[in-house]
Each structure stands twice: as C-alpha cells, then as structure tokens.
C-alpha cells in the first residue's frame, strides 16, 4: 500500500519521538510505501528551530531523527507530480502549502496520512489519521 505522509505527521514524529515515529518505522517494515513531496524538506528546514524547541533536542539530534525518517519516507521530486499541481490547487484553493501533498497523492493514486481535519473536507483524496 502507498501513502503520502503530510508534514504534520513528520513533525509529530520528531517532536514526540514516540508512537508516530515507531508507526512510520513499522509501516515501512510491513511493506507500506511512504512518500512525501520534495516540499517537505523546505517545510522541515524552515521549522528546524521550532522542532528543536518543542522536542527538547538539539540540531544534531533532530538531524539524526530526520535522517532515520527519510530513509523510510521517499521524498519525490516535483517533476514527478507537477502535472497534478493544477488539479490539487482546485481541490485546495485556500491551502497552498497542502497542494504538493495532494498533487503527489493524485499522481500515486493513494491516500494522505495527515492529522489536519480540514483536508477531509474534500472527497477526491482519502485522508487518514
């Protein structure tokens, strides 16, 4: 099974270092294919200070956990899903940060794993939490 992993799931795994982190590892070991758009790298980098603050970890420790997570989550370059960007924008006109995740899910024909309830307000892509 394929699943697009939203940034809030990655952030939860880094901050809480518990259930979500272990679940990502378990899913990948059980044959689930986990994906995120390349945009997740920018989002993670832009929030590194907040991730440090809320997790209580330093940059080196956060970097180590990020490396572990992204060994299990394939980061997909935009060129692989860019033909679905327009359709994703139409689905989410007020949520530009979520467009890459939806475009990737459309290109892979799979669900998105996210904790954001507002993403479930559309019916084209399944959102699991």
Per-residue pLDDT of 16-62, as tens digits, reads 877 888 888 889 889 899 999 999 999 999 999 999 999 999 999 99
Q: Indicate which CATH number applies to the domain containing 84.
A: 3.40.50.1010
* Residue span of the structural domain in which 15 resides: 2-128
Two tokens at 82? 């860019």
Two tokens at 81? 């899903």
Per-residue pLDDT of 102-113, as tens digits, reads 999 999 999 999
Residue whose tokens read 């904790």: 115
Determine the pLDDT at residue 25.
84
Contact by Cβ (8 Å): 55, 7? no
For the chain, what is the domain count?
1
Determine the pLDDT at residue 37.
98
Determine the pLDDT at residue 118.
83
Q: For residues 57 and 22, give the distance between their C-alpha atoms in angstroms, rounded to a whole number.
A: 18
Q: How far is CA 53 from CA 7, 47, 50, 59, in A?
A: 17, 10, 5, 10
């Amino acid at each position: 099974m394929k699943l697009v992993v939203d940034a809030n799931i990655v952030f939860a795994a880094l901050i809480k270092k518990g259930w979500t982190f272990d679940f990502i590892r378990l899913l990948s070991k059980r044959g689930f294919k986990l994906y995120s758009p390349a945009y997740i790298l920018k989002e993670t980098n832009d929030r590194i200070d907040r991730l440090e603050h809320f997790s209580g970890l330093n940059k080196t420790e956060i970097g180590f956990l990020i490396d572990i997570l992204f060994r299990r989550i394939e980061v997909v370059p935009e060129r692989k899903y860019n033909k679905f960007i327009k359709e994703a924008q139409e689905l989410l006109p007020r949520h530009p940060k979520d467009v890459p995740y939806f475009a990737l899910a459309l290109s892979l024909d799979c669900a998105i794993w996210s904790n954001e309830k507002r993403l479930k307000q559309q019916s084209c892509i399944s959102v699991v939490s």
